[in-house]
Amino acid sequence: MSTIALNVNRRAVELSAEPRTSLADFVRDKLDLTGTHLGCEHGVCGACTVLLDGVPARSCITYAAACEGADVTTIEGLDEDEVTAELRAAFTREHALQCGYCTPGMLVSARDLVLRLPDADERRIRVGMSGNLCRCTGYVGIVRAVQSVIEARRARNIGPLVDGGRTILGPAGSGRAESGRYDPQPARTLLAPASASVARGTIPDFTPATVLDQRFTLPHPPAKVFAMFDDIAGIASCLPGVALTGVPSPERVEGAIRVRLGPVAAAFEGAARVERDPVTLSGRIVGIGTDRRSHSATQGEIRYRLLPLEGGAATAVELSIGYTLTGMLAQIGRPGLVRDLARRLIAEFAGNLDRQMSGASSEQIAPAELSFWSIASDVLRARIARIFGRRSEAG
């Protein structure tokens, strides 16, 4: 038996297994991640396909020990993934599944095509999916489902990612593990593209791993709120932990956000691209940043739209927040808790924004640093209250 340490679905795992254990058996038998199916066990049918360092791989013919230090994502780890969610809906709509045994591997491979292909070319989709076999559907529905997702995303101006977002060359885990032991921090070279992009002045588009939708109202007219969103320094002062590190321009801003996760302190430094549409009272902010201490990197996107309420006397602010987090800090968050924290953060932002627009002093607006525990304690209290509320109703 040997000890194998790797990251599975953004969680650090260290378990003992026989050297001959395949990655498929490792995730199924050791971690109960049975969404990864075994078919031929010869690497032919594709039912066992998972993401290995972001690249589709046959887990039945991959030794778990060979993945030391790698990032493994099974179909369960894609529950919150935007592209996979669109594919699941398309598979249902186009009748692209019957018994469903091949479907997890199909979705993993299809996701890679959606990220990479510039358009919904049927031939390229059939070639790309040729490594995933299905004995039920005849493939017509599967191809139509993948085509529909690619068409819809390209129509929304979501372009293909070069090489599907691949950032590592070489075998699984290359550059991550030393002396047979797992290092939860990715290789420092992984942070270079983001830092280089900031230096060049280019903030790239990306596909968020997680998207959260939020809405709040402000007792101010839409035109006044939109003008406030144009004041980058004023908006930054309403966000807990955010500080500008340079003079903002209408299209670009540089800054940092400081977060304390218990004993872990992080300071993400980076830049953001600002887009605005006065006609629709909407906008978009796309940013990238790195925390040198934890060697973590993040990409974020905020889309907002302002809607008039009460005959134009008030404003509904619709937010769509997407982000991708890699590195040590990515192991801390859980989707449910992140949603609760996002709701609390947006509530604080809305309150600070209202106070700013009402003429409050800077001391009344935002704390200097975002404290995870102060927010988490409120979230936990709210959850406990909901649990006891349900019990009292049941009684």
End-to-end, the C-alpha distance of the chain in Å comes to: 51
Higher pLDDT, 263 or 312: 312
Residue 222 predicted with pLDDT over 80: yes
Average pLDDT over residues 346-352: 81
What mean pLDDT, rounded, does the chain reach?
A: 81
Which of 145-159, 318-332, 369-383 shows the lowest mean pLDDT across its residues?
Answer: 369-383
**Residue 299 one-letter amino acid:** Q
Residue 384 predicted with pLDDT over 90: no
CATH class of 81-160: mainly alpha
Indicate the fold that domain 188-390 takes in CATH.
Answer: Alpha-D-Glucose-1,6-Bisphosphate; Chain A, domain 4 (3.30.530)
Most confident of 138-152, 164-178, 246-260: 138-152
The secondary element (H helix, E strand) that includes residue 49 is strand 49-52
CB 345, CB 244: distance < 8 Å:
no
The position carrying tokens 């009272």 is: 281
Tell me the sheet residues that pair with 386.
none
Residue 207 predicted with pLDDT over 50: yes
Would you say how long the chain is, in residues?
A: 395
Instruction: Spell out the long-range contacts of 24-30 with Cβ–Cβ below 8 A and sequence spacing 24 or more.
Output: 24/48, 24/50, 24/59, 24/60, 24/62, 25/64, 26/64, 27/59, 27/72, 27/74
For domain 2-77, say whether CATH 3.90.1150.10 is its number: no
CB 196, CB 202: distance < 8 Å:
no
The position carrying tokens 């006044």 is: 224
Give the CA count within 13 Å in the CB-facing half-sphere of 243.
Answer: 11
The secondary element (H helix, E strand) that includes residue 211 is strand 210-218
Q: pLDDT for 39-78, tens place per residue?
A: 999 999 999 999 998 889 999 999 999 898 889 999 999 9
The torsion of the CA quartet 109, 113, 114, 120, rounded to 10 degrees, works out to -130
Strands (E), 160-209: none
Give the CA count within 13 Å in the CB-facing half-sphere of 112.
Answer: 24
Whole-angstrom Cα distance, residue 8 to residue 73?
Answer: 6
Nearest Cα to Cα of residue 274 among 263, 265, 286, 262:
286
Nearest Cα to Cα of residue 370 among 239, 195, 217, 209:
239
Higher pLDDT, 168 or 77: 77
Whole-angstrom Cα distance, residue 138 to residue 118?
Answer: 25
Average pLDDT over residues 76-100: 94
Q: Given pLDDT bands bounded at 50, 70 and 90, which one contains residue 181?
A: very low
Domain ranges in the chain? 2-77, 81-160, 188-390
